[in-house]
Chains A and B, each alone.
Chain A
Amino acid sequence: MKAFQLTRASDSAYAIAAAAKATTAQQGAEIRFIAGGTTLLDLMKLNVEQPETLIDISRLPFDQIDESADGGLTIGSNVRNSDLAHHSAVKRDYAVLSEALLSGASAQLRNMATTAGNLLQRTRCMYFRATDMACNKRDPGSGCAAIDGANRSLAILGTSRHCIATNPSDMNVALAALEATIHLRGTSGERSVPIGDFHLLPGNTPERETVLKPGDLITHVTLPPPPKGSRSLYLKLRDRASYEFALASAAIVITVAKGKVTHARIALGGVGTKPWRSTEAEATLEGQLATEETFRKAAEGALRDAKPQSQNGFKVELAKRCLIHALMLATQPPKE
């Protein structure tokens, strides 16, 4: 860990101006915002992140959850994961988000981690964290040790020959299925980015993970109102029962009327280099009978482009079973 300077932002203008001096907001940033610190401090101890300056934004007033007039939800970027997961409106209208959050990390980590921090959670690829091994994400151009190495937990969708690192977040998968919008404030004012455009595919530049530019500060996340009559859920599969990143997960928002799927939003976790919204699965489902056969076709569609590596071929089948089972659960008659 390198010595660094810590400053505390009194308002967002200060934070934005201070962070705008960095040359990048991506891997290698000299200036980083810190709130919960659950990812950043860990990576700093490993020398994977070596910022010169940390700007503490944890006291900025972005810690509220508000129900908007249209029935949607506004989530402040500093809202702690545990507060979000247990919020009554989230549990009522966005069960998939609450379930995803509670399936992640541990209670202690969820008490510290924030909404924006979770959006920016870094991969758990073991080579990203091992500074004596090649990693294009950590050290652009050095190569990818994972492709010929221990890749059991890594991605099968959205990979490139430069990077196969998985986006590890559970929350992001739920936000993708919920069609969340990320709201930013930067040096040139405010803008909003749909969750699907927020994270980038690795391509040739795996060190770039999001659209964030120096000085960009995430202020809040908005969710549209839940589709009428919809149900949502999150299903996460892993080796042990708790405290492990997903090998495969599925976030579902689905509406069934008269036995047919009228609306479906599907995202997969644990398998993609970014939170993996599957429009193929959605298109296969919508207008069809809500049966296991339909769900199987949707799962086949979602995984059609999967590119397994030496150790993670099983994820193709596991992700399919995960999605099918999640759809079965979400379309069962409600319990009395």
Chain B
Amino acid sequence: MPAKKKSKSPLGIKTPRVDGPLKVSGLAQYASDFHFPGTLYAVPVEATIANGRLAKLDTAAAEKMPGVRAVFHRQNIGKIFRAVKGEGMEGIIDERRPPFDDDVIRYYGQYIALAVADTFETAKAAAGVVRATYRQKKPNVATDLQADDDPAKVNTSFGPMARLESERGNAKSAFTKAAVKIDHTYVTPLVTHNPIELQGATAMWDGDRVTIYEESQGIFNMRSVLAQMFGLPKENVRIITKFVGSGFGSKLWPWTHCILAVAAARELGAPVKLVISRKMMFQTVGHRPRTQQRVRLGATKTGKLVSLQHDYVYSKSILDDYQEDCGEATAFHYSVPNLRVEFGRAKRHTGSPTPMRGPGAVPGFYATESALNELAAALELDPVKLRILNEPKKDESLDQPFSSRHLLKCFAVGAKRFGWAKRKPAVGAMKRDGLVLGWGMAGCAWTAGRFPAEVNLRLRDDGTVRVACGTQDIGTGTYTILAQLAAEKTGVPLDKVEVALGDTSLPEGPVSGGSMVTGSLIPAVYSAAEKMCEALFKIAVNTPGSPFEKQKPDQLSFSDGRVFAKKGGPAKGVPFRDLLSRANVHYVAGSGKAGGTSSEENPKVSMNSYGCHFVEVTWQPAIAQLRVSRVVTVIDAGRIINPLAGRNQIEGAVVMGIGMALLEETEYDPRNGAPINSNLADYMVAVNADVPPIDVTFLDYPDKAVNELGARGIGEIGLAGIAAAITDATYHATGVRVRELPIKIEDLLTSSILR
């Protein structure tokens, strides 16, 4: 039988989600969809103060309710240890204090008790009648931020960090002498992730082993935290996360509700399910902190930057050491001889912040790109030209070349697709259909890299393939990417590839964070494929009657699902299923490991993704209505493995950016410290009707420094810069320069553009 022509590579092809049919038919099982006989339901009791002490807890009425199994609190929850940060992705938890560890209340909604009952309704009713008495102190949820930690070095979630983040030249003196100066403070509000899937855990013990179904973005870190907190060897803890209804970072690290579910299940000897409410999603599972960023730019009269100072303060909880690195990209993104990036933190009576899509860089780029736009206006220079003028030839902070940087090409492509050449820079100068138009733009970047990953790849005697990795698909398309990679390496069509992920019993995979999953998986899949081929060739040469019986493994090759002798060429290849059947072997497997980039000593290049947004807003002065009407986004993220899922990521980020610029803000009531708009009617995110046409282009320059295929991450970069482009477009339309997000109607009512 002649071999078929080699099929087209599945990489770079628009590939619909392989898990799509499961999701649209309701067959995909999310964490809270798992039900077990005898499951009990738990509902936490929330503190209704944000600062003080719990003086008394009256659980009598709750305990008497029919169907209530227990009301847990500090006295009866049992031993819970404190987890410590280990190497790499081990032991990371943003709220490190174990739940119920003391009587101190440090934020509104902190769990003080847990009602467990036969039904969810009973548990909720029981939680509702637990009475707490407090010794209350005034909470500090003030929005004006002053750094309150003095030492030059502070602890963060990832280790100690100098508060002087980056410095070169003499930024202060260069600023003083600069011909043109910009000095403004930009504020981003505290915002909440709000994935649609609520967080929750179902915990089930079997002796000294525990299995937890939880929607985690990092199951192996969660395993290490829970193993520590419950005094178990890691292998006794299993985390299962088959599907995640988005996370945006809020599900990266474990939270207190998960620990309470495990503890309650341990005490009661039954499976316990605890799914938190939307209100609790605003209180106990993280948020993006408020940031206040002063940006000082000094430039020559022709627009060359001579000094950049970026000083930022962000809010954090009372106890925890969260890091929001707004300066992550500042030091490498622009060419400037004198630079200083400094930060500080302000403690507030809120739950701990946690990474939210594009942590650090998203608020950071809002500030620096806004300042650049203001400099362009002051110089009466096109903002694109200003950026071209200050494009660095290398990473000036690391003094290293960039692995692959095509930001100028992004600007060129974006400007052309948008029609930027027709821009009239004067405020209110552009009109269409009775509406005033505003045009704005901004650039962006996001650090690229890899986490360690291990992948197992199997060829089976029925001609199918299984690829397995203990990573997660948080809705971004990891199932599909793994299927594409496995199909590429085995020649088996996508519908014959089974993907297993989301289980700590699988080989250890990367956290779904930092936009690094795809990039991390590629070398692991490639290495697994090599090992798998070695195993397959051994069978091919050792099986009696095999056409390759007399040959040596290194004389064989594998492609398009067929083994063939290198000499004879693929035309005489034999399908792997024939070889496996003949040998009576169910499958051959290979496991491949790839290291992370952070462990690579002396990296020689600076690896990042880049991009830009061009935005049009419409302004209707008669009714003070501003809407985003058009977005053009160009992204340079290396090779794109699945352009369909890739575009979806950028579009989603742009929509989130519209929310960031115009709508989203978690408001804390200063009297009791409660996030007062803790529901999806009062906390506004962009809805479908707010979404304009979004034109996404990927440049597709492979970056081989990152991995074999040259693919970098795309999950976060789309949200960086978009808010600065929208605020600049808003200024162009209305003449109102808003430096505190979100832009509100009340800001725009001051516009002098009335027609």
Q: Which of chain B's residues has its CB closest to A129's CB?
A: B679
B623 and A241 contact, CB distance less than 8 A: no
A237 and B623 contact, CB distance less than 8 A: yes
Query: Contacts A132-B672, A132-B674, A145-B671; is A237 near B625 (CB within 8 Å)?
Result: yes
B663 and A149 contact, CB distance less than 8 A: no
A240 and B672 contact, CB distance less than 8 A: no
A321 and B687 contact, CB distance less than 8 A: no
Min CB distance B347 to A, Å, is 23
Q: Which of chain B's residues has its CB closest to A3's CB?
A: B125
* Contact residues, A144-197 vs B (CB, 8 A): 145, 148-150
Interface string of B667-681 (1 = CB under 8 A from A): 101011010110101
* A124 CB–B CB distance under 8 Å: yes
* B624 CB–A CB distance under 8 Å: yes
B623 and A321 contact, CB distance less than 8 A: yes
Query: Contacts A1-B125, A239-B744, A318-B745; is A130 near B674 (CB within 8 Å)?
Result: yes
Query: Contacts A237-B624, A243-B687, A317-B749; is A2 near B125 (CB within 8 Å)?
Result: yes
Residues of A within 8 A of B687 (CB): 240-243
A149 and B671 contact, CB distance less than 8 A: yes
A130 and B688 contact, CB distance less than 8 A: no
Residues of A within 8 A of B622 (CB): 321, 324-325, 328
Cross-interface CB contact of B623 among A124, A149, A239, A322, cutoff 8 Å:
A322
* A126 CB–B CB distance under 8 Å: yes
Residues of B within 8 A of A149 (CB): 669, 671, 676
Residues of A within 8 A of B679 (CB): 129
* B682 CB–A CB distance under 8 Å: yes
Residues of A within 8 A of B674 (CB): 130, 132-133
Query: Contacts A132-B674, A149-B676, A150-B676; is A241 near B690 (CB within 8 Å)?
Result: yes
B128 and A47 contact, CB distance less than 8 A: yes
Residues of B within 8 A of A14 (CB): none
Roughly how many angstroms separate A240 CA and B690 CA in the complex, as a whole number?
Answer: 7
B624 and A241 contact, CB distance less than 8 A: no
Query: Contacts A126-B677, A150-B667; is A239 near B125 (CB within 8 Å)?
Result: no
Q: Which of chain A's residues has its CB closest to B670's CB?
A: A149
Roughly how many angstroms separate A126 CA and B667 CA in the complex, as a whole number?
Answer: 11
Min CB distance B386 to A, Å, is 32
Query: Contacts A239-B684, A242-B690; is A133 near B669 (CB within 8 Å)?
Result: yes
* A85 CB–B CB distance under 8 Å: no
Residues of B within 8 A of A247 (CB): 745
Q: Which of chain B's residues has its CB closest to A235's CB?
A: B623
* B627 CB–A CB distance under 8 Å: yes
* Contact residues, A279-336 vs B (CB, 8 A): 313-314, 317-318, 321-322, 324-325, 328
Roughly how many angstroms separate A130 CA and B678 CA in the complex, as a whole number?
Answer: 10
* A139 CB–B CB distance under 8 Å: no
Residues of A within 8 A of B48 (CB): 132
A1 and B124 contact, CB distance less than 8 A: yes
* A56 CB–B CB distance under 8 Å: no
Roughly how many angstroms separate A163 CA and B124 CA in the complex, as a whole number?
Answer: 30
Roughly how many angstroms separate A266 CA and B12 CA in the complex, as a whole number?
Answer: 59
Roughly how many angstroms separate A230 CA and B744 CA in the complex, as a whole number?
Answer: 35
B663 and A239 contact, CB distance less than 8 A: yes
Query: Contacts A1-B124, A240-B690; is A130 near B676 (CB within 8 Å)?
Result: yes
Q: Which of chain A's residues has its CB closest to B667's CB?
A: A150
Roughly how many angstroms separate A304 CA and B48 CA in the complex, as a whole number?
Answer: 40
* B87 CB–A CB distance under 8 Å: no
Number of A-B contacts (CB under 8 A): 85
Cross-interface CB contact of A239 among B121, B662, B677, cutoff 8 Å:
B662
* Contact residues, B187-241 vs A (CB, 8 A): none
Min CB distance B26 to A, Å, is 17
Roughly how many angstroms separate A149 CA and B623 CA in the complex, as a whole number?
Answer: 26
* B178 CB–A CB distance under 8 Å: no
Query: Contacts A239-B745, A240-B684, A314-B746; is A126 near B125 (CB within 8 Å)?
Result: no
B745 and A241 contact, CB distance less than 8 A: no
Q: Which of chain A's residues has its CB closest to B748's CB?
A: A314
Cross-interface CB contact of B686 among A124, A133, A150, A240, cutoff 8 Å:
A240
* A67 CB–B CB distance under 8 Å: no
Interface string of B645-685 (1 = CB under 8 A from A): 00000000000000000110001010110101101011010
Interface string of A223-237 (1 = CB under 8 A from B): 000000000000101
* B1 CB–A CB distance under 8 Å: no
Residues of A within 8 A of B689 (CB): 240-243
Q: Which of chain B's residues has its CB closest to A313's CB?
A: B746
Min CB distance A167 to B, Å, is 16
A150 and B684 contact, CB distance less than 8 A: no
* Residue among B663, B687, B745 having the largest count of chain A Cβ atoms under 10 Å: B745
Min CB distance B310 to A, Å, is 30
* Residue among B48, B125, B676, B677 having the largest count of chain A Cβ atoms under 10 Å: B676
Residues of A within 8 A of B121 (CB): 1, 3
Interface string of A118-146 (1 = CB under 8 A from B): 00000010110110110000000000010
Residues of A within 8 A of B623 (CB): 235, 237, 318, 321-322, 325
Interface string of A242-257 (1 = CB under 8 A from B): 1111010000000000
Residues of B within 8 A of A132 (CB): 48, 672, 674
Residues of A within 8 A of B684 (CB): 239-240, 244
* Residue among B674, B689, B746 having the largest count of chain A Cβ atoms under 10 Å: B746
* Contact residues, B622-645 vs A (CB, 8 A): 622-625, 627
Roughly how many angstroms separate A324 CA and B621 CA in the complex, as a whole number?
Answer: 12
Roughly how many angstroms separate A31 CA and B676 CA in the complex, as a whole number?
Answer: 29
Residues of A within 8 A of B681 (CB): 124, 243-245
Roughly how many angstroms separate A1 CA and B124 CA in the complex, as a whole number?
Answer: 7
Roughly how many angstroms separate A129 CA and B675 CA in the complex, as a whole number?
Answer: 13
* Contact residues, B697-755 vs A (CB, 8 A): 744-746, 749
Q: Which of chain B's residues has its CB closest to A127's CB?
A: B676
Residues of A within 8 A of B625 (CB): 237
A150 and B624 contact, CB distance less than 8 A: no
Roughly how many angstroms separate A47 CA and B124 CA in the complex, as a whole number?
Answer: 11
Cross-interface CB contact of A124 among B124, B624, B669, B682, cutoff 8 Å:
B682
Min CB distance B686 to A, Å, is 7
Q: Which of chain A's residues has its CB closest to B747's CB?
A: A314
Residues of B within 8 A of A150 (CB): 667, 669, 676-677
Roughly how many angstroms separate A237 CA and B124 CA in the complex, as a whole number?
Answer: 37
Roughly how many angstroms separate A140 CA and B656 CA in the complex, as a whole number?
Answer: 40
Min CB distance B669 to A, Å, is 6
Residues of B within 8 A of A317 (CB): 624, 749
Roughly how many angstroms separate A321 CA and B620 CA in the complex, as a whole number?
Answer: 11
A318 and B671 contact, CB distance less than 8 A: no
Residues of A within 8 A of B672 (CB): 132-133
Roughly how many angstroms separate A1 CA and B689 CA in the complex, as a whole number?
Answer: 33
B669 and A240 contact, CB distance less than 8 A: no
Roughly how many angstroms separate A245 CA and B682 CA in the complex, as a whole number?
Answer: 9
Q: Which of chain B's residues has its CB closest to A125's CB?
A: B682
Roughly how many angstroms separate A235 CA and B625 CA in the complex, as a whole number?
Answer: 12
Residues of B within 8 A of A314 (CB): 745-746, 749
Roughly how many angstroms separate A313 CA and B750 CA in the complex, as a whole number?
Answer: 13
Min CB distance B24 to A, Å, is 18
* Contact residues, B588-646 vs A (CB, 8 A): 622-625, 627
Chain A to chain B: the 3 pairs with minimum beta-carbon distance, closest first: A241-B689, A242-B689, A314-B746
20 new A-B contacts at CB < 8 Å, known A2-B125, A2-B128: A1-B125, A3-B125, A124-B681, A126-B676, A126-B677, A149-B669, A150-B667, A150-B676, A237-B624, A239-B662, A239-B663, A239-B745, A240-B684, A243-B681, A243-B687, A243-B689, A244-B681, A245-B681, A314-B745, A318-B745
User: Could you show 28 A-B contacts with beta carbons less than 8 Å apart?
Assistant: A1-B124, A1-B125, A2-B128, A3-B125, A124-B681, A124-B682, A126-B682, A133-B674, A149-B676, A150-B667, A239-B663, A239-B744, A239-B745, A240-B662, A240-B663, A240-B686, A241-B687, A241-B690, A243-B689, A244-B684, A314-B745, A317-B749, A318-B624, A321-B622, A321-B623, A325-B622, A325-B623, A328-B622
Instruction: Tell me the B residues contacting A by CB distance below 8 Å.
Output: 48, 121, 124-125, 128, 622-625, 627, 662-663, 667, 669, 671-672, 674, 676-677, 679, 681-682, 684, 686-690, 744-746, 749
